[in-house]
Amino acid sequence: MATKSKAKKSKAASRKASARTVKTKSRAVKAKTRAVAAKRRNGNAVAAKRKNGNGLPPPSRKPWGAAGKALEGVRVLDFTHVQSGPTCTQLLAWFGADVIKVERPGSGDITRTQLRDIPGVDSLYFTMLNHNKRSITIDTKHPQGKRVLEALIKVSDVLVENFAPGVLDRMGLTWEYIHKLNPRMIVASVKGFGPGPYEDCKVYENIAQCTGGAASTTGFRDGPPLVTGAQIGDSGTGLHLALGIVAALYQRQRTGRGQRVLCAMQDGVLNLCRVKLRDQQRLKHGPLKEYSQYGEGIPFGDTVPRAGNDSGGGQPGWILKCKGWETDPNAYIYFIAQAPVWGAICDVIGEPGWKTDPEYATPEARLPKLRKIFDRIEQWTMTKTKFEAMEILNKYDIPCGPILSMKELAEDESLRKTGTIVEVDHPTRGKYLTVGNPIKLSDSITEVKRSPLLGEHTDEILKNVLGFKAHEIAEIKASGALGAPQEAGQKNAA
C-alpha cells in the first residue's frame, strides 16, 4: 500500500512539474510577445516622430480656418478692468480662448458706465475692449462666492488681473494659494511699475507714457512734453502681457506647471521707446545728425531732445501741408526723404539739379539743410491733396503716408474687408464700430462677437463649466453670492 501511495504521489508531482513548465513557457512566450509589441510600438512612435516632427500630429486636412481656433481649449479667468488687462484678454478671446470675465454683482467693470454716449447701456469704452468674453458675477468676499471662485481656479489655465498693487493678495488669492489649488495655473498681472521704489504706486495711461520715456521725447523742442493719442501704456502693455501668457502656455507643455507673468506699464512703454534709449547712448559720441536741430545749428544737451516730427530713424522725415490745409486740420502727409529715391524726389518736386549738386547730392550733405529741403517739398505737396500726393509718390517708391482722421478710418472700406474695422450688433445699444483683431492668422480666423451683458453667462458657467447641480446653483443664488438673494420663485430665472 505504501509503495502504491508513493507512486501516486510521484505521478502527481510529475504532473504538477509539467504544468509549471508549461506555465513558465507560456509566460515566457507572452513576455516575448509583449516585448515584440512594445518594440513595434516604440518603432512606430519613432517613425511618427520622424514623420510628423517630434511626435506632432500630421497636418490637418480640413480647409484653412476650419481646424479650430489657435487657443481653443484654453480657459482664462479674467479679473481685469478698464483697458490694459481687457486688451490682453480680448486678444486671447479672439484667438479662441474661453475668457470668463469675473465681475462685481450690480456694477461690474467700471468702464460699463464711463464715457457713456447712450444712457442706460454699456459704454463703447467697455464694449470695444471686451468682445468674445463671457461674464459671471461673483461676490468674492462671500463664502459661497469663494466656493465658486475656487472651483473656477481649479478648471482654468490662466488668471489675468490688473488690480492695484496688493489687492489680489488681500483677496486671499496669493500666488502660493492659487498654485496650491491648481499647479498648472498661469497668473498674469499688469502693474504700473516693476519691483523697485515705485512698485506700490498706482499708474494710468498718461503716467505710464511719462515714466516710460515717451512724453520726454514727444513734442517740439521749444514746447512741453506731450503724451500721444495712441494708448501705448494701457493697450500696449496688454499686448505685451498676451505674448507673455502664450509663451507661458507653451512652456507649460514641457514643464507641466504654471508660472507668474508680470508686465509693468513702465517697462512696456520703454520697450516701445527703445530707439530713444539708442539715441541716448549715441549722444555720448556726438550730435544726432538726423535730428533737424543739428541742421539748424542748435547744440544738443545731455539727454535725447523732443524732435517734433523727425522720423526717429536713419531716414529724414517730416509732416508737410497738402492742398486744403487752411480748413482741414488733417490735410497733411508724412514724407520721408529716403536716400535711395533721392533722384526721384528731385524730379517730382521740380529740382533735378539737386541730384548732382554737391550741396544736395549725398545724405551727409543734405543733413544740415533738412529744413530747407522739406520747405521746398512742401511747396509741391501744397498743390496736391494728400491722396493725390500719395498716389504720385508711390509710383516712385517714395515713402509717404496721409494723415488719416478717425472719420476717414471708420469709413475706409478696405479696413472693413480685412476685419480691422468691424460692425458689431449689441442687444441694448444697437450697432457700433470697433477695431477687430490686428493680428491675422490664416488658420485661426477671428470672429468678433459682442461684449457680454453683466452676469449674462453666470448660470451656464455654473452648470456647464463647474458642473454644479440645480439645487447647488439655487443654494448659491439664494445666498446672495452672485448678486441680490433670489426668492424661491426666482431661483430658476436666467
- Give tens-digit pLDDT for 143-196: 999 999 999 999 999 999 999 989 999 999 999 999 999 999 999 999 999 999
User: How many Cβ atoms are within 10 Å of 335's Cβ, its own excluded?
Assistant: 26
Instruction: Give the model's pLDDT for residue 489.
Output: 38
Residue 123 contacts residue 114 (beta carbons within 8 Å): yes
Question: 198 — phi, psi (to 5°)?
Answer: -110, 10
Strand partners, 101: 78, 135
Residue 278 contacts residue 356 (beta carbons within 8 Å): no
CA atoms within 13 A on the CB side of 52: 13
Nearest residue to 92 via CA among 112, 78, 110, 79: 78
Once rounded to an integer, what is the mean pLDDT over residues 441-447? 96
Instruction: Give the model's pLDDT for residue 55.
Output: 72
User: What is the tens place of the pLDDT at every residue in 32-41?
Assistant: 556 555 555 5
Reply yes or no on whether 234 is catalytic.
yes
Of the pLDDT bands very low, low, confident and very high (cuts 50, 70, 90), residue 494 is very low
Helix (H) or strand (E) segment spanning residue 407: helix 406-410
By percentage, how much of the chain surpasses pLDDT 70?
87
Flag the least confident range among 223-227, 287-291, 427-431.
287-291
CA atoms within 13 A on the CB side of 68: 8
Distance CA 473, CA 144 (A): 10
Once rounded to an integer, what is the mean pLDDT over residues 447-469? 97
Instruction: Give the model's pLDDT for residue 304.
Output: 96
Of the pLDDT bands very low, low, confident and very high (cuts 50, 70, 90), residue 493 is very low
Once rounded to an integer, what is the mean pLDDT over residues 296-306? 94
Instruction: Give the model's pLDDT for residue 315.
Output: 87
Side chain identity, residue 303: T
Of the pLDDT bands very low, low, confident and very high (cuts 50, 70, 90), residue 488 is very low
By percentage, how much of the chain surpasses pLDDT 90?
82
Distance CA 104, CA 97 (A): 22
Instruction: Give the model's pLDDT for residue 2.
Output: 52
Flag the least confident range among 28-37, 128-137, 310-319, 403-412.
28-37
Of the pLDDT bands very low, low, confident and very high (cuts 50, 70, 90), residue 487 is very low
pTM (2 decimals)? 0.86
Catalytic residue among 139, 157, 234, 310: 234
Strand partners, 421: 435
Distance CA 89, CA 79 (A): 10
